[in-house]
Structures are given as C-alpha cells and as structure tokens.
Amino acid sequence: MLLSNSKLKNSILVTLSILGVSTVAVVPAYADGANYTTSANVNFTPSQDTVGPVNPDKPDANQPVKPVTPDGNDVKPGTTGPLSLDYVSDFDFGSQKISPKNQTYYAKAQGYQGVSDNSVLYAQVTDSRGTGAGWTLSVAQPSQFMNNGKELKGAQIGISDLSAATQADSDAGSATAGGNMTLIPGTGAQTVMSAKANTGQGTWVARMGKADNLVTEKGDGDTSRTVDNAVSLNVPGSSNKLAGEYTTTLNWTLSDVPSNEK
C-alpha cells in the first residue's frame, strides 16, 4: 500500500514536471517597440474684434481698464480690427482766468472708472492682421479753438516726451513714437507713433509723458486736479479772449502704411 502511494506520488511529480516544461515551451516572444508619429496644428486669422483700452503704464491686453472722459463719463468705443485705433485720451485744459500775459495750461490726466489713480494721456493701437505690414498713427488739428465763432488766435497744443510701449513679454518688433510736437491748426498731420514692416504687432500705446509728468494743480479755493504736463496749451497774452468755452477737434488717423514708406 505504501509502495503504491509512493509510486503514485512519483507519478504526480513527473506529471507536474512535464507540465512545467510544457508551459515554458509555449510562452510567446514579444516583438520590439513600435513608433507612431502624429501632428498638431493651429491656424490664426485676422481679428475683427474691438480691443479695450489698457493701462499705459503697464500695457497688457489681458488686463483691460476703463478710462473715463475728463468729466467722468464713459468713453466711446474704438474702431474694429484687424488694424484698430482702440482709444485716444481727450485733452481738457481746465477753467482758466483771462490773462493779458502769455500762459501755458496743462491737460487733465487720464482718469479711470472706479479708481482714484490717474495716468498719463495716451493713444492705443492694435495690429491683429497677422501680416507684419506696419502702420502709422498721426494727428492733425484742422482748425483753431473757437468760441461762438471767435478764434483763440495763436493758441498751440504741445505734446512732449512721447514714447511707445507694449506688454513686457512681447516678441514683436518695436514701434516708435514721435518725441515732441506742436500742433499748428490747419496744417498737415504729424506722426505720433509708427511701425516699420515686421514690427508693431499686437497692442501698442503712445504715452504722452511719464508718471513723473503727473502733477497736482491748485484751482480756485480748495479745488485741485491732477494734470499731465507733457500735454500743454500755450496761449499768447495778445490773444483776445471771450468769457466761455473754446473748443477744437483733433483728427487721429491710423493708416496701414509702414513708417519707412510714409
């Protein structure tokens, strides 16, 4: 009986050994690794959207701001793309006493909705054409300041310390600003900011002065206002001044002609 069991065990062991050998023999060999190539793509088209104003001190289209007119109202929207004039500050030279002397008055600084901070006055351009064709921003004053048909003779608007800026991490070629200018009523346009071919893509601002051009100007009594002394109005003492408001218009033109071809 014991012998029989022993033979049975040996038989089982042999069988398991044979099965074990059989299992190893049928394991398949795996093939070498394989490669497969795919593609990724994106297509850009010129944008027709309106671009909102940005902070001229730190231009960034991802962080738009809400400028207001000198009297605190909403500003009108800029033009649509793909080459757009997004915003230009109004010039408000305040309420001034009639004087027989030559006088220089400064424009009120740019204010913003919901905040007390001010900035320099500025113009903003966006090029979303995707061609790098360049552009030119110019300004002209077609006529003199007028009050009920009477001209403020000899008055001249001056803009100094113009500089061009875009967002800090932009890899677009640089636009340039015109430096200093005096607007002569009824004469041709002057270049404010421009971009040669292959420059000026994205959003750009022409800053009129720097932060240290902002000063507090005292008015009558306890009144005061912040002005940008890079934008001035020079009025000769010899000019006859009527009581009341004198106004004029400035025409800002953005053309698709690069500065080296203007």
Query: How much is the pLDDT for 258?
Result: 87
Instruction: Tell me how crowded residue 91 is: count the other CB atoms within 10 A of its CB.
Output: 19
State residue 44 phi and psi, 5-degree precision: -105, 140
**Residue 30 scores a pLDDT above 90:** no
Query: How much is the pLDDT for 25?
Result: 54
Please report, for residues 250, 251, 256, the alpha-carbon distance to residue 190 in angstroms, rounded to integers and kept in the order given: 11, 11, 15
- How far is residue 176's CA from residue 199's CA, in Å, rounded to a whole number? 10
Range 31-50 average pLDDT? 92
Query: How much is the pLDDT for 223?
Result: 83
- How far is residue 199's CA from residue 219's CA, in Å, rounded to a whole number? 44
Residue 155 CB partners (closer than 8 Å, separation 6+): 144, 145, 233, 234, 235, 236, 239, 246
Query: How much is the pLDDT for 220?
Result: 72
- The DSSP code for 52 is P
**Residue 6 scores a pLDDT above 90:** no
| Residues forming beta bridges with residue 68, ordered by sequence position | 74, 111
For the chain, what are the domain ranges? 67-261
pLDDT per residue as tens digits for the range 11-28: 434 443 434 444 555 556
Please state the pTM of the whole predicted model. Answer: 0.84
- Among residues 90, 118, 99, the alpha carbon closest in space to that of 234 is found at 99
pLDDT per residue as tens digits for the range 108-158: 999 999 998 999 999 999 999 999 999 999 999 999 999 999 999 999 999
- 120 within 8 A of 205, measured Cβ to Cβ: no
Query: How much is the pLDDT for 92?
Result: 98
Q: Which of 44-53, 173-182, 214-223 has the lowest mean pLDDT?
A: 214-223
User: What single-letter amino acid sits at 258?
Assistant: P
Mean pLDDT of the chain: 89
The CA radius of gyration of the chain, in Å to the nearest whole number, is 36
The separation between CA 182 and the C-alpha centre of its own chain, rounded to angstroms, equals 25
- How far is residue 182's CA from residue 153's CA, in Å, rounded to a whole number? 15
Q: Which of 19-28, 150-159, 180-189, 204-213 has the lowest mean pLDDT?
A: 19-28
Query: How much is the pLDDT for 3?
Result: 45
- How far is residue 70's CA from residue 108's CA, in Å, rounded to a whole number? 7
pLDDT per residue as tens digits for the range 59-108: 999 999 999 999 999 999 999 989 999 999 999 999 999 999 999 999 99
